[in-house]
Structure 1
């Protein structure tokens, strides 16, 4: 062999070795990239699952709050209607009382001044012998 063939042959071997080293590096990098992409997909899937679960929990809580608002609104309407009925009763009873007072004054009867008027002075209705009790149903509604 001539010196030129030996130099050419050794440089071909060196080039082949460099290519083999580069191919090995490229193969390792490809494997590493695939593993990294797989881990990234797993992280993304877990994040989507976590967010889906959180959204479900928030929607359930929202439904509960909407239900409570609906119930409170219904009770408000009910109490407003009851309040209107009571106001109408107060007006009716007040008119009846005025009518009775007019009859008493017209007839000239002497009525004692110390008789309490429960419609005009409602605090006189209360007595220590009859305590006012709150309904437990009302307290447990909220």
Structure 2
């Protein structure tokens, strides 16, 4: 004899197995959706990494160019500085030589003006010195040595 509970338990089994299949299908669908989402996320992540790498490579190239430009400028400025230092040394040497000449000429003029004093080892007896020295324009015709500075003395100052 069939009981109404027996029939209901049979249909309950069918409903349970159907809902389990639906649940399994739903879980499979969610898993598939998650896998697709993860793949898309990984693809976007790889793209971001590649873009970052490209940006860094471009920045490296730009910094290398800038470094090269700065190095060229530094080399030029160092050479210019060395040239200016050499010229400065020559000019200082010339300044000392011109100062010595000026002092000697001042002592000669001092003697020509009649002062009979000893100045820097020079003894003046008064106006007996040749009168051509008293006219400064006559000094142009004297045999004067040109002012020279040697390269060896360039870095002494």
Q: Report the CA distance between 1:112 and its aligned residue.
A: 6.0
The aligned counterpart of 1:32 is 37
Q: 1:103 aligned to 2:108? A: yes
How far is the alpha carbon of 1:91 from its aligned partner?
1.1
Equivalent runs, 1:51-66 vs 2, <5 Å: 51-66=56-71
**TM-score between the two structures when normalised by the length of structure 1:** 0.70
1:104 deviates by 4.0
**Does 1:16 pair with 2:39?**
no
- Give me the whole-angstrom Cα distance separating, in 1, the residues matched to 2:45 and 2:109: 94
Which residues of structure 1 form unaligned runs of 5+? 116-142
Deviation track 1:117-136 (CA, whole Å, cap 9, x = no partner) reads xxxxxxxxxxxxxxxxxxxx
Instruction: Return the offset for 1:56.
Output: 1.4
Larger radius of gyration: 2
1-structure distance, mates of 2:48, 2:110: 91
**What residue ranges of structure 2 are gaps of 5+ in the alignment?**
1-5, 113-126, 138-157
What's the CA shift for 1:37?
0.8
* Structure 1 CA distance for aligned equivalents of residues 9 and 31 of structure 2: 32
The structure, 1 or 2, with the larger RCO (C-alpha pairs under 8 Å, 6+ apart) is 2
Alpha-carbon distance in 2 for matches of 1:3, 1:87: 121
Q: How many residues align?
A: 114
| 2-structure distance, mates of 1:27, 1:47 | 30
Provide, for residues 41-95 of structure 1, a one-character-per-residue CA deviation record: whole Å limited to 9, x for no partner.
Answer: 1111111111111121012112211210221121111101111101101211221
SS in 2 for 1:2: helix
> How far is 1:36 from its partner?
0.9
RMSD of equivalent CA atoms: 2.2
